[in-house]
């Protein structure tokens, strides 16, 4: 068996091109701002960036000037020369570059690389020079600037970025660029960006009348239009079906609770900045809930529990509110009001692995149903430095729980990657990471293990020996929130939803107004069967009616003219453009019902 070895990005020609392009850009920028301070400029997924500290803000015109100058520099065929030097020498070279001096000190101590990641061994210090520009850099680079084709790169945007990614540090100016091996690759990439924009859920959401935002309602607070309402109903139906089969019990809890509950849960000490501020009545503070868990814990605690009752799985499509910072809002993907496909599983330690894998199995069923194949499972762990701040202060339990999750994933053969310092405050979590149409990352499904909060709520069950034991709690949301899920589905399907999920499943199109009544009769029969249908009896021509149904991405169009009316039949046009003439309504209904019942991908 042959195994294909994928070339590491870090070792690829593309990586060198982008890294070198960043240096060339920095040279051009420094020519405009001789006193400008340079920081770091690494290659990224489709290009590169470089962060600068400059005396004034960059303008789009600057970008043009810089790009033009870069084209000249690459033509100069300047060699990239690497020199290994001592820390002291490096400090002399970068004497007036304070950010570089900071980096050199980090390297000298041997603790961290230029991005602040801890290093195993003390790295050597090297500089790269081409033409007039010298940078502290470990490479690698292309041999000379001419390896970068002058028509294969483009500067994309100016953005703010904190020095070392820390919001307490100074805000720098970042220039993003893209660079490729040749002009065709660049062209393809730019085309791909254009295509992605067409899939943007914010654009499709408006066009397909799924949701809107309104300034007077508030940022991050979506209004679901009737079409969006249908999708939500369908998603809830799906979740309830799956959860009922998996032994979940449905509960309902209020949107508002007293402060006491969130003090006990730990949300106020650890999560307060993401919560809406309290409202006070008669001396009592109330908070709008950012999560459902504390209420579910109360339900668990509402009566004595035996080991025989476990696991107990409490599910609720709960509405939560979180005060996301204004700049973090992003269409439906990041909002302030959301409905979570939430549930909490209370179980004994010996049941943990089975329950945990049960949740993962649910993920896989959903992935299969939606045809999701591009995703990454991330196991988010705590960081020692955050204990008592971001994280509940009990390192022993952190390590133990993280091990349990790892073991469960390994035993179940689920591939995943580990990320430090991204856990929930009460325990490690598994996120399913996905990408929006324009390439932004999001966590969709999530699954978190809580070893801390049950104890705070005095949750207990009586074990076989008759002693009290604290249950573990698994928080899970395989379908994420309605908001993020619908946003994701819009982009995933580019609005071409499978029949079961389509807000409007059938549009009946009479050719002349002589068939209006016949068309409306068909709609009545379809609705009788639980099918979402409407008739287009506007004063437009058939072609225009078809066009508007196509634009709304309605899966089935039934065209009815005099022939169909007289024969009691319909002519089916499918969203993909195919058609099937003169079929009976019963035949069409049978086809549809089959697709809907199976939640089939095909039309």
Q: Does 117 bind RNA (CB under 7 A)?
A: no
Q: Helices 585-598 and 516-528 sit at what angle, rounded to 10 degrees?
A: 40
- Whichever of 351 and 480 has its CB closer to RNA, that residue is 480
- Whichever of 118 and 304 has its CB closer to RNA, that residue is 118
Least separation in angstroms between CB 55 and RNA: 12
String of contacts with RNA for each residue 489-528, x by CB under 7 A = ----------------------xxxx--------------
Closest CA to 556 of 572, 569, 540: 572
- State the number of binding residues for RNA (CB under 7 A): 83
From the list 105-113, 135-143, 303-311, 333-341, the region that binds RNA by CB under 7 A is 333-341
**Binding residue for RNA, selected from 330, 370, 518, 588, defined by CB under 7 A:** 330
SS3 letters for 103-121? HHHHHHHCCECCCCCECCC
Q: In which region does residue 513 sit, left (phi positive, over 0), alpha (psi from -120 to 50) or beta (all else)? A: alpha
- Whichever of 333 and 519 has its CB closer to RNA, that residue is 333
Least separation in angstroms between CB 583 and RNA: 10
Least separation in angstroms between CB 587 and RNA: 15
**Binding residue for RNA, selected from 110, 165, 269, 371, defined by CB under 7 A:** 165
Site for RNA in 340-359 (CB under 7 A): 340
Q: Does 74 bind RNA (CB under 7 A)?
A: no
- Whichever of 544 and 600 has its CB closer to RNA, that residue is 544
SS3 letters for 372-437? CCCCEEEEECCCHHHECCCECCCHHHHHHHHHHHHHHHHHCCCCCEEECCCCECCECEEEEEEECC
Least separation in angstroms between CB 421 and RNA: 8
Least separation in angstroms between CB 402 and RNA: 16
Site for RNA in 174-193 (CB under 7 A): 174
From the list 32-40, 160-168, 247-255, 347-355, the region that binds RNA by CB under 7 A is 160-168
Phi/psi at 142 (nearest 5 deg)?
-70, 165
Site for RNA in 381-410 (CB under 7 A): none
- Whichever of 410 and 513 has its CB closer to RNA, that residue is 513
- Whichever of 90 and 506 has its CB closer to RNA, that residue is 506
Angstrom distance (rounded) from CA 244 to CA 241: 5
Angstrom distance (rounded) from CA 250 to CA 110: 54
Residue 411: how many other CB atoms lie within 10 Å: 11
Q: Which residue has the tokens 């020996």?
A: 465
Torsion of CA 158, 163, 164, 168, to 10 degrees: -120
String of contacts with RNA for each residue 228-267, x by CB under 7 A = ----------------------------------------
Q: Where are the beta strands (DSSP E) in 399-550?
A: 417-419, 429-435, 441-450, 461-462, 468-469, 472-477, 506-510, 533-535
- Whichever of 357 and 537 has its CB closer to RNA, that residue is 537
Site for RNA in 546-575 (CB under 7 A): 546-548, 550-551, 557, 559, 561-564, 571, 573
Q: What is the DSSP letter of 139?
A: -
Least separation in angstroms between CB 41 and RNA: 13
Least separation in angstroms between CB 206 and RNA: 6
* Beta strands at 569-574 and 579-584: parallel, antiparallel or unpaired: antiparallel
Q: Which residue has the tokens 């799924």?
A: 210
- Whichever of 190 and 542 has its CB closer to RNA, that residue is 542
String of contacts with RNA for each residue 191-230, x by CB under 7 A = -----------x---x------x-x--xxx----------
Angstrom distance (rounded) from CA 349 to CA 472: 7
Per the omega criterion (within 30 degrees of 0), is the bond before 140 cis? yes
- Whichever of 13 and 543 has its CB closer to RNA, that residue is 543
Least separation in angstroms between CB 466 and RNA: 37
Q: What is the DSSP letter of 285?
A: E
Angstrom distance (rounded) from CA 440 to CA 454: 34
Site for RNA in 431-470 (CB under 7 A): 431, 438-446
**Binding residue for RNA, selected from 30, 101, 158, 299, defined by CB under 7 A:** 158
**Binding residue for RNA, selected from 21, 25, 210, 338, defined by CB under 7 A:** 338
Q: Does 327 bind RNA (CB under 7 A)?
A: yes
Q: Where are the beta strands (DSSP E) in 180-311?
A: 211-212, 223-224, 249-250, 256-258, 279-281, 284-288
Per the omega criterion (within 30 degrees of 0), is the bond before 544 cis? no
């Amino acid at each position: 068996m042959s195994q294909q070895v994928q070339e590491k990005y870090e070792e690829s020609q593309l990586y060198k091109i982008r890294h070198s392009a960043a240096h060339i850009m920095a040279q051009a920028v420094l020519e405009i701002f001789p006193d400008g301070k340079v920081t770091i400029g690494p290659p990224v997924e489709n290009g590169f960036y470089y962060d600068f500290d400059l005396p004034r803000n960059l303008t789009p015109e600057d970008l043009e000037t810089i790009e033009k100058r870069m084209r000249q520099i690459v033509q100069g065929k300047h060699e990239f020369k690497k020199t290994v030097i001592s820390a002291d020498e490096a400090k002399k070279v970068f004497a007036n570059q304070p950010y570089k001096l900071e980096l050199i000190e980090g390297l000298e101590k041997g603790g961290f690389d230029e991005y602040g990641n801890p290093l195993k061994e003390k790295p050597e210090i090297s500089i790269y020079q081409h033409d007039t520009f010298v940078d502290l850099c470990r490479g690698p680079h292309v041999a000379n600037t001419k390896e970068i084709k002058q028509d294969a790169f483009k500067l994309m945007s100016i953005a703010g970025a904190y020095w070392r990614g820390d919001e307490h540090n100074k805000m720098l100016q970042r220039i993003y660029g893209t660079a490729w091996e040749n002009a065709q690759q660049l062209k393809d990439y730019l085309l791909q960006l254009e295509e992605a924009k067409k899939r943007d859920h914010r654009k499709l959401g408006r066009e397909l009348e799924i949701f809107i935002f309104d300034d007077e309602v508030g940022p991050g607070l979506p209004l679901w239009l009737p079409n969006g309402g249908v999708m939500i109903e369908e998603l809830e139906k799906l979740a309830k079906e799956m959860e009922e089969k998996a032994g979940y019990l449905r509960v309902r809890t209020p949107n508002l609770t007293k402060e006491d509950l969130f003090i006990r849960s730990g949300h106020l000490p650890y999560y307060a900045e993401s919560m809406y501020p309290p409202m006070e009545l008669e001396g009592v503070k109330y908070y709008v809930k950012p999560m459902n868990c504390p209420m579910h814990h109360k339900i668990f605690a509402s009566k004595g529990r035996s080991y025989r009752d476990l696991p107990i799985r409490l599910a609720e499509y709960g509405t939560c509110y979180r005060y996301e910072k204004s700049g973090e809002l992003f269409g439906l993907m990041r909002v302030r009001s959301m409905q979570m496909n939430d549930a909490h599983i209370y179980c004994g330690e010996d049941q943990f692995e089975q329950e945990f894998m049960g949740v993962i199995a649910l993920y896989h069923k959903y992935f299969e149903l939606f045809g999701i194949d591009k995703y990454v499972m991330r196991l988010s762990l705590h960081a020692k430095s955050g204990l008592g701040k971001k994280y509940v202060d009990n390192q022993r339990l952190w390590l133990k729980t993280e091990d349990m999750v790892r073991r469960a994933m390994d035993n179940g053969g689920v591939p995943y990657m580990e990320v430090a310092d991204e856990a929930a405050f009460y325990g490690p979590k598994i996120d399913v990471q996905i990408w929006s149409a324009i390439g932004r990352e999001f966590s969709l499904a999530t699954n978190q293990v809580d070893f801390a909060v049950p104890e705070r709520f005095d949750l207990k069950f009586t074990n076989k020996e008759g002693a009290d034991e604290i249950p573990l709690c698994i928080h899970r949301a395989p379908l994420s929130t309605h908001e993020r899920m619908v946003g994701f589905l819009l982009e995933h399907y580019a609005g071409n939803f499978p029949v079961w999920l389509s807000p409007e499943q059938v549009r009946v199109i009479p050719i002349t107004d002589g068939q209006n009544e016949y068309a409306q009769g068909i709609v009545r029969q379809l609705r009788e069967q639980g099918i979402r249908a409407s008739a287009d009896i506007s004063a437009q021509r058939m072609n225009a009616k078809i066009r508007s149904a196509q634009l709304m991405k309605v899966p089935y169009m039934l065209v009815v003219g005099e022939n169909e009316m007289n024969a009691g039949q319909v002519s089916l046009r499918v969203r993909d453009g195919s058609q099937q003439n003169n079929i009976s309504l019963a035949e069409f209904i049978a086809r549809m019902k089959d697709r809907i019942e199976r939640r089939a991908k095909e039309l």
